[in-house]
Amino acid sequence: MRSVPLAAALALSACVLTGACTVTAGGSVTPGKTGRTKTGQSTTGRTGTTTAGPTARATVPAQDGPRRVVSAATAGGLPKGTGDQAVTDVPVDPGEVRDGMNLVIENYVRPGSGDPVLLVAVDGVTDGTEKRREHLWRGLLDRLQWDGGVDSRPVAAGPLGGSVECFLVSLAQDGNVVCGWADATTAGIALIPDSTVATASRLFLAIRADVEG
């Protein structure tokens, strides 16, 4: 989970060098004051040719005031990865990140498990959060080199509301599980390795509860 497409690495480097954004320890990206920025690789030609991701099936309800996403020290009971387990690249193109938007890219470590849970979340989305979630999903499926199709399952979103779905990226009954949420202003996805949809969805909801508020 350490590799990143060359285009993504170059784009992030340019973003940092020009002062358009800053990267904090652990992978959080904060836009600077230079206007519109985009981190990661270009979305052109990447998201339209991969295996179609799941279609959102729930209505995104209104909410009181815009929500934000934060880089929580602990999410879903899992500590944020540090050192060798911290995020060191941009694993998924997050789409456009403008002034005033927060982008969180973190690993959360499961004790006794191999690969950490990868979380990518963004707030301040004005071009459609379900569209942004779809973009994130497609980027992750491309990274995983998965072309076997997906069978997404709606999940009860809980107190935060919005639309939540999970699906298995494996030919077996367990393996890599991908989950995502979309509400009025935020969207996020997670890759939960070596799990089942039922187990991963519970963990994902707990992680979301700690990073969105």
Work out the pLDDT band at 58, boundaries 50, 70, 90.
Answer: very low
Looking at the domain assignment, is residue 54 inside a domain?
no
Q: What is the pLDDT of residues 110-164, one digit of tens each?
A: 988 789 999 999 999 999 999 999 999 999 999 999 988 888 999 999 999 999 9
Q: Which residue blocks in the chain are alpha helix, DSSP H?
A: 6-17, 129-143, 197-211
Cα–Cα nearest to 117, from 168, 71, 161, 76: 76
What is the tally of structural domains in the chain?
Answer: 1
Query: For residue 157, what are the domain limits?
Result: 6-48+67-211
Cβ-in-10-Å burial (0-12, 13-18, 19+) of 155 comes to buried
Work out the pLDDT band at 64, boundaries 50, 70, 90.
Answer: low
Looking at the domain assignment, is residue 203 inside a domain?
yes
Q: What is the pLDDT of residues 196-205, one digit of tens each?
A: 999 999 999 9
Q: Are 11 and 39 in contact (CB under 8 A)?
A: yes
Q: CB-hemisphere CA count at 13 Å for 71? A: 19
pLDDT at 130: 97
Looking at the domain assignment, is residue 146 inside a domain?
yes
Cα–Cα nearest to 124, from 93, 96, 161, 150: 96
Q: Are 178 and 203 in contact (CB under 8 A)?
A: no
Looking at the domain assignment, is residue 59 inside a domain?
no
Looking at the domain assignment, is residue 56 inside a domain?
no
Looking at the domain assignment, is residue 78 inside a domain?
yes
Q: Are 115 and 169 in contact (CB under 8 A)?
A: no
pLDDT at 63: 54
Q: What is the pLDDT of residues 9-21, one digit of tens each?
A: 334 433 433 344 4
